[in-house]
Structure formats: C-alpha cells, structure tokens
Amino acid sequence: MRSGLTCAALLLVGGCAHPPPVPPAPIATRYAGVAATRQGWALPDTIPDTTARHVIMGEATGDDVPDLAFLITRGDSATIYFLPGAGHGLYGASVEVATTYQLGDDVLFFLDGTLAFGHRSSDDFIAWKWDRRHRRMKLIPEPKEH
C-alpha cells in the first residue's frame, strides 16, 4: 500500500512541475514558428535593425541582451510579437503581445525598457512592460479590475 501512495505522490508532484523552458533559437526559426500558427498573415518586408518600422530591436527584459519585437499583418489587423533575447543571435519563444488595427502610419518602438505601439496621426498608443515572473508583456497602465 505504501508504494502505491508513493507512486501517486510522485505523479502528483510531477504533474504540477513547470514545463521545461523552450531552448533559444535563431530568429529565422522563431519567425517560421509564428508564421506556421498564423496562416494567411504576412511579415512586413523589413529587416531587423534599430530603425526598421515593423521589426525592432531594444532592451525590455532588464538583462542587457537585445530583444526583438515585430508585427505581422492581415488586412487592417496587426499582431505584435515579442522575442526575448538570449544572446549570441538567439531568442526565446515568441510571446504574442496584442492584436490591434493597423493603419499606414503605425509605429512600434522600445523606449526605456517599454514596448509601445501607436499611430503617428494621433496621440493614441499602447505600451507594455516585461513581467519577469510570468514571462510576458504586461499592459501599462494595468487595467483596473471592476
């Protein structure tokens, strides 16, 4: 009887364990992973650098390793993705940040550890900060619970 309880306890503990972290991969692999999940969506024709309009590099996780953000589009919608940098040209698993409408004058940028998306023709923009504990981008300011 005791061994049955031990096995049940081990199964319970094993079932509660966190999944293993996804190993870092090159950016081309990360792009391909996003494209495979979003059929019919397109990555804009830009290359990763600090001045590109739709693929940007900056520091958001506080580890002094450059991170990437990019958006893919379909019609007038855009989905923003964040890739935490792992160093040596490798990136962690992509994190879907938000889906928003896209106009011809949208901008995606990093500023002081914040990822932001906005429209040049208006004062409207949305911003996120990296949540280290949950490994995701968190909307700022946080929406108030009702």
Q: What is the pLDDT of residues 79-117, one digit of tens each?
A: 889 999 999 989 999 989 988 876 567 788 888 889 988
Is the bond leading into 21 cis (omega within 30 degrees of zero)? no
In a domain, 28, yes or no: yes
Name the band, by pLDDT with cuts 50, 70 and 90, for residue 45: low
pLDDT exceeds cutoff 60 at 130: yes
> 3-state class of 97 per DSSP?
strand
Its domain, for residue 94, covers: 20-140
The answer, yes or no, to whether residue 33 has pLDDT greater than 80, is yes
Owner of token pair 């964040």: 82
Q: Are 71 and 65 in contact (CB under 8 A)?
A: no
Domain count, the chain: 1
The answer to whether position 10 is within a domain reads no
pLDDT: which is higher, 104 or 46: 104
For 70-81, write each residue's pLDDT tens digit: 888 777 778 889
In a domain, 89, yes or no: yes
* pLDDT computed for residue 104 by the predictor: 65
Kindly give, in sequence order, each residue whose CB lies less than 8 Å from that of residue 33, ignoring residues fewer than 6 positions away: 93, 94
* Long-range contacts of residues 46-55, Cβ cutoff 8 Å, at least 24 apart: 53/107, 53/108, 54/108
Residue 6 resides in a domain = no
